[in-house]
Chain A
């Protein structure tokens, strides 16, 4: 186990290194650059811009800048925001909770709803429900998340007035119920695509399990259909879903970015867009890295969980 963990950790670190290089290259080589913001100020001469560039170390070769940035990154110094001089880690940290709350809730919704649909479809394969859900899943995968959000706001906030149209809590309230009311719509909107994906995979996974010998054995032992379903079929078909949850992370995170924009949710996605608007390179770079770390850690956790649950898998 320890050896497996170490090698997986090593692989993830190498991947992070490549990710950081791609991200840094993209941001550094793109025209505009961090200095374009200063060039906009009236009365700014080229001399002054050059001075700022050398102060910020931007006049050095790109490779030198990269390794300088990387060596600081490793010791936990992710730079300071160009916008307000706060440390990047602090800025990201203060937006992390909102995004994790949104993603977590959406994942809970999509896992429960998606698996239920998938299991039911598999047990009644070829039936009306199965067919309807197949079409629903493909339509759901085709709806732009942000547009679904707009329509949800139009119906449930503007017309029916049931739910707030944005933000994470009401100023001056902030009770748990208030958070929940603000969370329902964005989390459901974010979950839609994942419900579709989960239901499809869970259907396939259940179909694979239903035909296994141990299910026949369980039935032969005289266990009730319900018990076989809950203990033997559902349990076993959920195992590959844990890996899927890990693999879905980048998509959920990307979806969160758009959902946060529509619902003015104060998370990392909003921060990313704001930082892009200000050409706040250190924060943008930090967010790219943070999202990659989140994705890699999520995948690692998923693999470890599968290994702990499934006795057939030995990690060596």
Chain B
């Protein structure tokens, strides 16, 4: 086994360092990294620095505008501190995003590698299923699922994953298909390695670049989708806060308490844009052709 993988272990550090150099010279990617790190830090450390608990209801100070009485981002219709809720919501929304990334990337990789490796009828069937999932507007399918299943953060992550794995599957399938006839795969066959070993130990690691890019973009997508369904009332249920469900009642108070709508929306945009920037930087870093243009 070890002799077989020398080829790839010799190449990898070089690719990695070049990719890392490209990534670091990508301005947007760095900005994205800073945005994501800052937001993560705020969400996990912020709650300890605030004077109010996220569940503390103070009916005497409902709809306090930002800046009053230690409520730096104001209060909501129940007098709860928005900053405290925003940070806790961030923990949940980002946790959902990462969970979806892991689940969807696993599903997509397995289906993609099987389809790409075996080709033929297996591939035809699996890829038609991918096409079928892609012809639903994903929000429709998501809502249909979320409306009839008791939503909790875990369930929401699973449901979003169920509608987010197709992109990875397509990417992995294309990569594996192009690698399948290369010498190192032939060599692995001749050594008598099992199909499973070849698929997951030989082929999949070679597609790691595009997978990482797709995974990063999946986090962004998952945070957005969670916001969509929670905004519509079918996602994370209060009192558990999420960025999406904080916006749920915001529309009716838009005229008098616009901060209810503005604050969580800005947080979502920063998080999603941050992950999109990072994904874009990674794509350029892994794609050797990007040197040309």
Contacts and interface: CB of A to CB of B under 8 A. Distances in A.
A78 interface: no
Interface in A263-310: 272-273, 276-277, 279, 284, 287-288, 291-292, 295-296
B273 A142 contact: yes
Contacts of A27: 144, 148
A143 B135 contact: no
Contacts of A287: 140
A146 B139 contact: no
Nearest to B227: A144
Contact of B138 (A15, A22, A135, A254): A254
Query: Secondary structure of the A side of the interface?
Result: helix
B137 interface: yes
Nearest to B266: A147
A207 interface: yes
Interface in B90-142: 128-129, 131-141
Interface stretch (B42-50, B168-176, B184-192, B247-255): B247-255
A135 B276 CA distance: 11
Given A147-B268, A284-B144, A15 B273 contact: no
B262 interface: yes
B139 A150 contact: no
A254 B137 contact: yes
Nearest to B268: A144
B158 interface: no
A151 interface: yes
B293 interface: yes
B87 interface: no
Interface residues of A, number: 50
B232 A258 contact: yes
A55 B98 CA distance: 45
A2 interface: no
Given A26-B145, A207-B293, A158 B137 contact: no
19 contacts: A22-B136, A23-B136, A23-B144, A26-B144, A142-B272, A143-B272, A146-B228, A147-B227, A147-B268, A153-B251, A154-B255, A251-B137, A254-B137, A258-B231, A284-B144, A287-B140, A292-B135, A292-B136, A295-B136
Interface of B: 28, 128-129, 131-141, 143-145, 147-150, 220, 224, 227-228, 231-232, 234, 247, 250-251, 254-255, 258, 261-262, 265, 268-269, 272-273, 276-277, 280, 293
Given A32-B148, A144-B228, 18 more contacts: A15-B128, A18-B129, A19-B136, A23-B136, A27-B144, A30-B149, A141-B276, A142-B273, A142-B276, A146-B247, A147-B231, A147-B265, A150-B254, A255-B139, A273-B143, A279-B148, A287-B140, A291-B140
